Structure 1
Amino acid sequence: MTIRAVIFDIGNVLIEWQPERFYDRTVGEARRREMFAAVNLHGMNDRVDLGEGFRDIIYETAEANPAFRTEIRMWHDHWLELANPVIDHSVRLLHALRAKDVPVHALTNFGIESYDLAKGHFDFLHTFDTAFVSGHMKVIKPDPQIYRMVEDTLNLPGDALLFADDRHANVATANARGWNAHLFEHPQGWADRLVSEGLLTAAEAA
């Protein structure tokens, strides 16, 4: 079937999401390793992505781990510094697709408040026809339910969708549902896929 919509993940596709790098820079690698070994910070973030309170969950985790209270609170208080930098080539691809009237959506594991914060900082997040944000949907990738919800909302079968995500598990679930899924490793590979699908020319994808 012809591709009728393109779906972008956001973290590590449009915006780099490497909290470890932020902590290495701010508190040092040794302290960061100690903290990540002691505290399930990615599990904490999953709770935010499932729709629990952004500040509440992070501060609750900080209070439960007083040895790292200051550092854990930084996950909330310096969040825009964690969610950086923008992957410029990917953003250009997003705009190139929109310029050709290709429907473009987002499917992202993202908290409610943190996504609102990001939208206030990154203008391109206003570009999507629909942003499927896990915090609002109360389910995160790679749960098949979130993919089903996208299909139902768009009223499109999986083989009409082209989806880019940086995580193997998320891509595998999309493929299992019949989606055309691309494992995002770098923007040039994504650009090449968009060209190969006939959605952009090589010049438009540069």
Structure 2
Amino acid sequence: MKVGAVIFDIGNVLIEWQPERYYDRTIGPEQRKAMFAALDLHGMNDRVDRGENFTAVVRGFAAENPDWAPEIMAWHDNWAALAAPAIDHSVRLLRGLRRARVPVFALSNFGIETFAIGEAEYPFLEEFDRRYISGHMGVIKPDPRIYEMVEQDCGVAPGALLFADDRADNIAAAAARGWQTHHFDGPAAFAARLVAEGLLTEETAA
């Protein structure tokens, strides 16, 4: 089926999301490994992505784990440094699709407050035709419900949606609903996919 809309994940597709790398820089790899072994920081972040208040969740988690409290609070206080930098080629693909009048949506696990921070840091996050942000939706990928909610809202048949995400479980959940998918492992391969689908030219995908 011809692609009717392209859906971008955000973390590790348009913006690098590697909290471990931030902590490697700030507390060193050994301390970081110990911290992530002791604490479910990504589980903490999932709560934010489901719509819980960012500040309340992180402060509560720090209070529960006082031995790591300053490091946990850095997740909150320096969040913009964790979600960096932008993946510039991916941003060019987003804008190239917009210029080609291809509908472009975002579907991302993101908190309400953290997405507001992201918008301030990365203005291109405002350029989508539609944005499906988990914190506002109350459900995160790969729960099938979030894909169903996109289908119900966007007006594009599932088989005409092309979804790019870096996580295999998120891709598998979309494919199970009949979406076309691209397992993102870098912008060059995604650019080639968009050219192969006839959505961009070699020049506009560069």
> TM-score normalised by the shorter chain: which range applies?
over 0.9
Aligned-CA RMSD value: 0.6
1:27 corresponds to:
27
Give me the whole-angstrom Cα distance separating, in 1, the residues matched to 2:103 and 2:9: 15
Shift of 1:120: 1.1
2:41 corresponds to:
41
1:123 pairs with 2:120: no
2:14 corresponds to:
14
1:178 corresponds to:
178
* Deviations 1:129-185 (CA, angstroms, capped at 9, x unpaired): 111000000000000000000000012221110010000000001111100010000
* Deviations 1:23-55 (CA, angstroms, capped at 9, x unpaired): 000010111111111110000000000000001
Matches within 5 A, 1:13-162: 13-162=13-162
Give me the whole-angstrom Cα distance separating, in 2, the residues matched to 1:182 and 1:191: 11
Percent identical pairs in the alignment equals 58
| TM superposition score normalised by structure 2 | 0.99
**Unpaired segments of 5 or more residues in structure 2?**
none
**Unpaired segments of 5 or more residues in structure 1?**
none
2:191 corresponds to:
191
Deviating more after overlay: 176-185 vs 149-158: 149-158
Give me the whole-angstrom Cα distance separating, in 2, the residues matched to 1:47 and 1:8: 22
| TM superposition score normalised by structure 1 | 0.99
Q: Aligned pair count? A: 206
Deviating more after overlay: 152-161 vs 135-144: 152-161
